[in-house]
Copies of this chain bind each other. A is one copy, B any other.
Amino acid sequence: MDTLETRELRYFMAVAEELHFGRAAERLGMAQPPLSRAIQQLERRLGVCLLERNRRGVALTGAGEVLLHEGRAALDATTAAARRTRRAGGADSPGGPRNRLVLAVKAGASHELLYKLLDAYAAEPDAAEIEVLPSGTCEQGEMLRDGRADVALMHAPFNSLAGFDSEELLTEGQIAILPAGHPLAAHKTLSLAEVGDIPDLPLARFSRHGTYPPGPGPEIHDQTQLAQLIALGRTVAVFPDSARAWLWAEHTAVPLTDAPPVVTHIAWPAHSRSLALAGLIRTATRL
């Protein structure tokens, strides 16, 4: 009576995101009429009007928006349960979650820290196997939420730590990475305003969930590509200090005076109760 099956949630999410029964049905791999009926049943069961059926298309009601947000969290939690259970399966270790952890890391970031962490942890007495999962820009949070990862290295203020437990690992300043030949590369320091407003060097734009922020700069989805574009004098980028590790000869790093410091955290779902995870966290905080 008040149960809310995940199937219904999936259906509603599709409709709420597409705002179109036909497209939503297609995305779900089903026909439109059963979808309509399912949503109607859902509304009746909840005793709530979720969608405003206008002549042309569909709009969310207030309750619909609530269910869109809360349902996303619920679906993530459900798929996380499935994934983590699967991962714990196979060789079911007696008396506890299996000794395997998936660590999400922003691809290419925190080289050195990651290296030290894996190294130190591997030396621990009963270390679990760590699978490093490179993630796209800033989606470590989603990976923790939907169970693709068990623990993540996250970078405040880019990642939001809301909803996770975390420990601070490292604080660093930020640098601008410029073509070595560029006039600004001679400066000892720069400000964000100076870097963001160079006529011949538009700021690179990084993809987030497949979309790019507006601006004149090139769209980046690969660090090598970015490095090349900088080397060719086509763009400039801002990175944490540790990015110096991968600079090319054609690059120059200039510290930024007014950029917010980047704090690298190790973060995990607040309800985690895994021994292996606890060990990794302990190792990380002792680095």
Contact = CB atoms under 8 A, between A and B. Distances in A.
B4 A5 contact: no
A65 interface: yes
Interface of A: 2-7, 9-10, 46-50, 61-67, 69-71, 73-74, 76-86, 88-90, 92-98, 147, 162-165, 269-271, 273
B7 A62 contact: no
Given A66-B88, A164-B270, 9 more contacts: A61-B89, A62-B94, A62-B97, A66-B84, A71-B81, A73-B271, A74-B81, A162-B165, A162-B271
A78 B48 contact: no
30 contacts: A2-B82, A3-B10, A4-B82, A6-B6, A9-B78, A46-B86, A46-B89, A47-B89, A48-B88, A49-B92, A61-B89, A62-B88, A62-B89, A62-B93, A62-B97, A63-B92, A65-B96, A65-B97, A66-B84, A67-B81, A67-B88, A70-B80, A70-B81, A70-B84, A73-B80, A74-B74, A163-B163, A163-B269, A163-B271, A164-B270
Contact of A270 (B2, B65, B70, B163): B163
Contact of A77 (B48, B77, B82, B147): B77
Contacts of A70: 77, 80-81, 84-85, 147
A9 B85 CA distance: 12
A4 B96 contact: no
Contacts of A80: 70, 73-74
Nearest to A91: B62
Contacts of A65: 88, 96-97
A98 B62 contact: yes
Contact of A3 (B7, B93, B94, B162): B7
Nearest to A94: B62
